[in-house]
Every structure is written in C-alpha cells, then in structure tokens.
C-alpha cells in the first residue's frame, strides 16, 4: 500500500511540474512576443505613423497574437493542473473559474483583433464559397 501512495505522489508532482512548465512557456511567449514586436515593428516608429491608414490595426494585430497564444497556453496549464487536484467542489470551481476568465479574455482579444467572434470564421468561409463547393 505504501508503494502505491508513493507512485501516486510522484505522478502528482510530475503533473504539477508539467503545468508549471506550460505556465512558464506561456509567460515566455507573451513577454518574448511583445518584445519582438516592439523591437522589430518599432514602437517609436509606430507612434510617428499613427496617421497612416491601418497602422493601429496592424500593430494591434501583431501585439495581440502572442497575447492570445499565451492565454491559450495558460488555459492548457489550468486543464493539466486540474488532473492533479484533489477532486473537491472548491478546487474544481476555482480552476473552472480561472479557465472561464482566461477563455473570455481570449475571446475578447480575438474579437478586438479580428472584429468577429472566433466561431464566426467557419460561417464566413462557407458564405464566401460558391454553392456546390464544399471545403475539403
């Protein structure tokens, strides 16, 4: 019996470390993405081009992509961590609330970047295809 509880503890720790690793990756993606956009796109250059048509939208799109990817990774870390939690109602509720908040942030960021809800992509593609032609 003692051996199986040791194995369970090792598995629990491995899951916790995996979730932590994904969280660190998420933060790294966000920070690196923002720094890369700021350096390559030139935040100062952008500020002088505010009057150019579409400059703000292009810059916002480039900044939003690493943020969106980072949020998706944070949701993945929450899902991984849920496996390692003691299945109490409080633990599941807290983790579920975190996933819900991060998902809503992802959706709102997606709407801000693309001007439509994430699930509307398929609708737009289907409407733009001629009748009788389905996507493969």
Q: Splitting the chain (136 residues) into consecutive groups of 10 residues, what average pLDDT does each group show?
A: 76 90 95 87 66 74 87 88 77 85 86 76 53 48
Closest CA to 42 of 55, 30, 51: 55
Total-model pTM: 0.69
Give the end-to-end CA distance of the chain in Å, rounded to a whole number: 54
Within 8 A by CB and 6+ apart from 123, the residues are none
- Token digits of residue 92: 């599941």
Distance CA 77, CA 45 (A): 36
Residue 1's pLDDT is: 47
Residue 23's pLDDT is: 94
- Token digits of residue 103: 């998902």
- Token digits of residue 73: 């990774």
- Token digits of residue 112: 């801000």
Residue 80's pLDDT is: 85
Residue 136's pLDDT is: 42
Q: Are the beta carbons of 73 and 29 closer than 8 angstroms?
A: yes
Distance CA 77, CA 18 (A): 8
Distance CA 83, CA 95 (A): 11
């Amino acid at each position: 019996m003692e051996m199986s509880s040791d194995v369970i503890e090792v598995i629990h720790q491995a899951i916790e470390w995996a979730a932590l690793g994904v969280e660190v990756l998420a933060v790294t993606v966000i920070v690196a993405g923002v720094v890369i956009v700021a350096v390559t796109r030139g935040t100062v250059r952008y500020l002088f081009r505010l009057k150019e048509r579409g400059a703000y939208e292009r810059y916002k799109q480039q900044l939003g992509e690493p943020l969106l990817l980072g949020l998706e990774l944070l949701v993945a870390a929450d899902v991984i961590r849920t496996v390692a939690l003691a299945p109490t109602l409080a633990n599941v509720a807290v983790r579920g609330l975190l996933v819900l908040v991060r998902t809503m942030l992802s959706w709102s960021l997606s709407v801000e970047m693309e001007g439509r809800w994430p699930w509307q992509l398929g609708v737009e593609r289907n409407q733009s295809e001629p009748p009788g032609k389905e996507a493969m």
